[in-house]
Amino acid sequence: MKNNMKNVKTASEAYKVFDLLGIKDVTKPWQKRKGTEVWELPFKTMYYNGSGETNRFSIYRSGYVRKMVVHPTTGASYSCYQLNKVRKKPYFVKDYEWNGNYGRTKWTGKYRKEQGNYRVLIGSHADRVVYLCNYILKNYYRNSKCGLVGEYTMKRVAEVHGEWWRQNTDYLESKQDKFFHSAGTYDVQVIINGHRYNLS
């Protein structure tokens, strides 16, 4: 459902979304000095075998945005994979002919065109923050395949639900059957500077 779903456009909007969703800045001082920022989601991705994966992301002055692979017991990042967009780029290699004798080749004097992948670097810090925010929203909050609910989300839902319940107890008792047997679907949205961002 894409009705009024918009992407984050500015770094200030991205930081507000991070704050609203409980996405934590876990950048260490030595990383900050190098122009790196590290952000961690308030929930883990759970797998069928019961293991959980910490969702940690980093942006670099070099133009890269990465998802970190986090050690399950130490919490240290030990690897990563790139999130930057991929583009095709042609390159040329020498063309060799085989003369039937294995291990012996002869250059034909020509070059052969091949296609390789390269990552598109993101020039400014603000653009990298916006790119990361939109990536997280698309893949972790708007993706209906991910039923991810973390401690922060559960706490906020419990607080809001508790307050609503206290205010509507009499009404609920009179409408109990209708309330518990009706089904509905709801959109979760955040509005920042007049722009609506769908999280469902």
The pLDDT score that the predictor gives to residue 95 is 85
pTM confidence score? 0.64
Higher pLDDT, 107 or 56: 56
What tens digit of pLDDT does each residue of 128-172 get?
A: 999 999 999 999 887 655 545 555 655 666 676 667 667 766 655
Query: Residue 3 and residue 142: Cα distance in Å, rounded?
Result: 13
With vertex at residue 106, the alpha carbon angle to CA 100 and CA 112, rounded to the nearest 5 degrees, is 110
For residue 119, the number of C-alpha atoms closer than 13 Å in the C-beta half-sphere is 12
119 Cβ contact list (under 8 Å, min separation 6): 64, 82, 84, 85, 86, 87
Among 83-97, 118-132, 152-166, name the one with the lowest average pLDDT: 152-166
